[in-house]
Amino acid sequence: MAKKDLKFSNIKHIAIAGNIGAGKTTLTTLLAKQFNWEPHYEDVDNNPYLYDFYENMPRWSFNLQIYFLNSRFGQIIKIQQGEKTVIQDRTIYEDAQIFAPNLHAMGLMTKRDFDNYTALYKTIGSLIKPPDLLIYLRGSISALVGQIQKRGREYEDNLRLDYLRRLNEYYENWINSYKEGKLLVIDIDKCNFAEKPEDLGEVVNKVRANLHGLF
């Protein structure tokens, strides 16, 4: 395992954002190994609502988003109170800026539930700090679908293309207005960090440069 870079000793939180199938979990694992950071993954296997949500989105959308919000909030509190440098698979911003608004816009979450969710997020947002570096994985719909099919998660079999497409639009709108901290954008259509060592090396160099404040 790589030794922790002492130059990053003041860095506590790196977060990876991106649409479903963008490669967040893969890159989290690779960068955690490279820099000896502690990975925090999205709780997919133990999520009690995920399967039900994909079967009946209107019924379970609010429950799912509250679960994610609470899970992510708990992760951030542990990061802020801990001593280790953590790299996080998905951010709390995505829940509130992308998934919940998209569900509401598609008629899959009621206005009452959405307003309640938004009020809770604003309260939580006042208690947390942004990550030291946000890495956004940008990808075309074809690239995302290819990755989703490759990993073969059963609950994603019924994932609608229009849902994925709308999420991408929300992601782009959010990332184009992100001002909370440092941002690194990786185009997964051009950068295959999962299978090409040279592409991963390029990502590692960009991460290191961003954390050193060169870009």
What CATH number should be reported for the domain holding residue 34? Answer: 3.40.50.300
Q: How confident is the model at residue 60 (pLDDT cuts 50, 70, 90)?
A: very high
- Tell me how many domains the chain contains: 1
Bridge partners, 14 (sequence order): 87, 133
Residue 6: the pLDDT is 47
Active-site entry in 89, 95, 115, 132? 89
Q: How confident is the model at residue 5 (pLDDT cuts 50, 70, 90)?
A: low
- Flag whether pLDDT at 181 surpasses 60: yes
Q: pLDDT tens digit string along 70-101?
A: 999 999 999 999 999 999 999 999 999 999 99
Residue 214: the pLDDT is 43
Q: How confident is the model at residue 10 (pLDDT cuts 50, 70, 90)?
A: confident
What range defines the domain where residue 20 resides? Answer: 6-188+197-211
Q: Is residue 165 in some structural domain?
A: yes
Compute the average pLDDT of residues 50-61. Answer: 92
Give the integer Cα–Cα distance in Å for 128 and 123. 10
Q: Please say if 89 is a catalytic residue.
A: yes
Share of the chain above pLDDT 70, in %: 89
Q: CA–CA distance from 87 to each of 30, 138, 166 (Å)? A: 10, 18, 27
Helix (H, G, I), strand (E, B) or coil at 140: coil
Share of the chain above pLDDT 90, in %: 73
Residue 148: the pLDDT is 76
Q: pLDDT tens digit string along 34-45?
A: 999 999 987 777
Helix (H, G, I), strand (E, B) or coil at 9: coil
Q: pLDDT tens digit string along 99-117?
A: 999 999 999 999 999 999 9
Q: Is residue 47 in some structural domain?
A: yes
Between strands 182-187 and 86-89, the pairing is unpaired
Under 8 Å between Cβ of 79 and 40: yes
Helix (H, G, I), strand (E, B) or coil at 55: helix
